[in-house]
Amino acid sequence: MPTPCSCGENADKLLAPISAAAIDRLESRLARHDAGFFSSSATQRRVLISANHLTKRFANGNQQVLAVEDLSFDVQPGHVFGLLGPNGAGKTTTLRMVLGLIEPTSGDAQIHGFQVSRDSDEVKRRIGFVSASVGVYPWLTPREVLRFVGDLYGVRPQVAVERIERLSKLLGLEEILDRRCSVLSTGQQQRMNLARALVHDPPVMLMDEPTRGLDIVGSQVVFDYIVHLRSVGKAVIVCTHRLDEAERFCDSFGLLNHGRLCQHGSLGDLQDRTGRTTLTEMFVDLLAADSKPTTEPSI
């Protein structure tokens, strides 16, 4: 006898026992969904920076310099990765490959799922870059520079105005926004560079020695900025020689020497593996143990 219900004849279908076959089908669909969610594409979306077996050789007269060798790492949103190493270890070369400024000899990097070697425009749109050696336009004011950069990246003028206002507050630029860049101090120029790297609101930030030449107050502005980047979910790579500072603000580390990744992990991982407490102690051991030259005969 059909069940009386305002749903009419559909009520029979709704109340009918679900067959074992239907349950099997449902379970296998859910399993497929879960597998898809946790497998490649979704996981890759969670990884904003992915370096895969990056290698770079430079020709240098009749020799070759192996600047970076088979380097792989991932950086997730809201994560600060410290790429550390002595002079000439290959840090800047790695950043240049990730930015797409130089071509790797082999390997590749992905930014937000876009391959650097193939989708370089998409990649550049998604990266902010801060370097101690980036120059400023002497005759422009910070406000003009920030508007100009916003325009280059296709940020709508009204959005650019709002962002410049927000970044000025964040970085204490209000007083200097309309002064010529040529009269700004090193610290003020660096604050403008930090703002410039964020005008297009990229999900990824690469920072090459961002505190070089800065005093304690200037360095603190950079640390606060990095903390801000993490809190808003950016994926950040920082190259620095200030190991004590890196310990404070990086979530994980890659220790490079002669282009090779000698250690990789959180501070706790590295402490467990090396038996050392500080990055400085680990570096001293690393340099003593690993003195392989990076020049090879030309081929």
Ligand X SMILES: Nc1ncnc2c1ncn2[C@@H]1O[C@H](COP(=O)(O)OP(=O)(O)OP(=O)(O)O)[C@@H](O)[C@H]1O
Single out the residue of 26, 49, 183 nearest to residue 113, CA to CA. 49
Mask for 64-93, x = binds ligand X (CB under 6 A): -x-x-----------------x-xxxxxxx
Kindly determine how many residues on this chain lie close enough to bind ligand X according to the rule CB under 6 A: 12
211 makes contact with ligand X (CB under 6 A): no
Contact of 238 with 80, CB cutoff 8 Å = yes
CB of 95 to ligand X, least distance (A): 8
Q: Which of 66/145 has CB closer to ligand X?
A: 66
CB of 58 to ligand X, least distance (A): 3
Answer left, alpha or beta for residue 135, where phi above 0 means left and psi between -120 and 50 means alpha: beta
Among positions 52, 58, 140, 265, the unique one binding ligand X when judged by CB under 6 A: 58
CB of 26 to ligand X, least distance (A): 54
CB of 183 to ligand X, least distance (A): 28
The token pair that represents 132 in the structure block: 């101690």
- Cross-strand partners of 252: 81
CB of 224 to ligand X, least distance (A): 24
CB of 105 to ligand X, least distance (A): 12
One DSSP character per residue, 208-239 reads: ESTTTT--HHHHHHHHHHHHHHHHTT-EEEEE
Name the one range near ligand X by CB under 6 A: 60-68, 145-153, 156-164, 282-290.
60-68
Q: Which of 60/220 has CB closer to ligand X?
A: 60
Residue type, 109: A
Q: Compute the distance between CA of residue 104 and CA of residue 259 in angstroms, rounded to an integer.
A: 13
Q: Which of 87/231 has CB closer to ligand X?
A: 87
Q: Compute the distance between CA of residue 193 and CA of residue 221 in angstroms, rounded to an integer.
A: 12
Q: Which of 58/223 has CB closer to ligand X?
A: 58
Q: Which of residues 219-238 bind ligand X (CB under 6 A)?
A: none
Contact of 264 with 254, CB cutoff 8 Å = yes
212 makes contact with ligand X (CB under 6 A): no
163 makes contact with ligand X (CB under 6 A): no
Strands (E), 25-159: 49-60, 63-75, 79-84, 106-111, 114-115, 127-131
Site residues (CB under 6 A) for ligand X?
58, 60, 65, 67, 85, 87-93
